A and B are shown apart, each in its own frame.
Chain A
Amino acid sequence: GENVEQHPSTLSVQEGDSAVIKCTYSDSASNYFPWYKQELGKGPQLIIDIRSNVGEKKDQRIAVTLNKTAKHFSLHITETQPEDSAVYFCAAKNSGYSTLTFGKGTMLLVSP
């Protein structure tokens, strides 16, 4: 089955800096890659997603890039703010199924 590796497990940045979280996946047939933000004690919220026919997608300060050849995708957050502090999860859709495999998460801490 699909395996998703996520790095780093923790990331500390200063307010205004950029943050990058990277994920790799194993199944070359995977075609959908969402990113979720989870605040403490709450359910994950979708922040951006990308399909395999697109190399990059942006939404204001957030962007995701996908390299199908290398089987990795990354989340980029620019001009970080303290409210960006949370746990971020990447995921990949399992080919042939309606399920997702999740990375183990990255705790992002943005210091004022």
Chain B
Amino acid sequence: DGGITQSPKYLFRKEGQNVTLSCEQNLNHDAMYWYRQDPGQGLRLIYYSQIVNDFQKGDIAEGYSVSREKKESFPLTVTSAQKNPTAFYLCASRAGTSVADTQYFGPGTRLTVL
């Protein structure tokens, strides 16, 4: 998992509540990513950020929001507008140089909405 931490490992929330997932990296990487993983669906990109104070929507951004106020932090908020929030959420980072394409993943947060 390198220098990427995600907390908590397990998270339970009631339906209709917003919840924020933490992702921190000490790799000095420029780019950070959020993915959602569902059984049989692979990894789907929610949001990504290539530099501080900038981020782009991925393939399934609806119902999610992010911020990138610091290089080392990229929190993800799952809002009440996300219809099926229960999933395994993965954060990743990448060095950001033109030849450094490798993404490194954190350990993940399993969110269960009751």
Contacts and interface: CB of A to CB of B under 8 A. Distances in A.
A60 to B, nearest CB: 19
Given A99-B48, A99-B58, A105-B42, A44 B31 contact: no
Interface in A54-109: 89, 93, 98-100, 102-105
Contacts of B58: 99
A104 B33 CA distance: 18
B66 interface: no
Contacts, number: 54
A93 B42 CA distance: 15
For chain B, the bracket of interface size reads: 20 to 34
Interface residues of A, number: 21
Contact of B102 (A43, A46, A89, A103): A46
A43 B58 CA distance: 19
Contact of A98 (B94, B105, B107, B108): B94
11 contacts: A34-B103, A42-B107, A43-B90, A44-B105, A46-B103, A49-B102, A98-B48, A99-B48, A102-B43, A102-B44, A105-B40
Interface of B: 1, 4, 6, 31, 33, 40-45, 48, 50, 58, 90, 94, 96, 101-108, 110
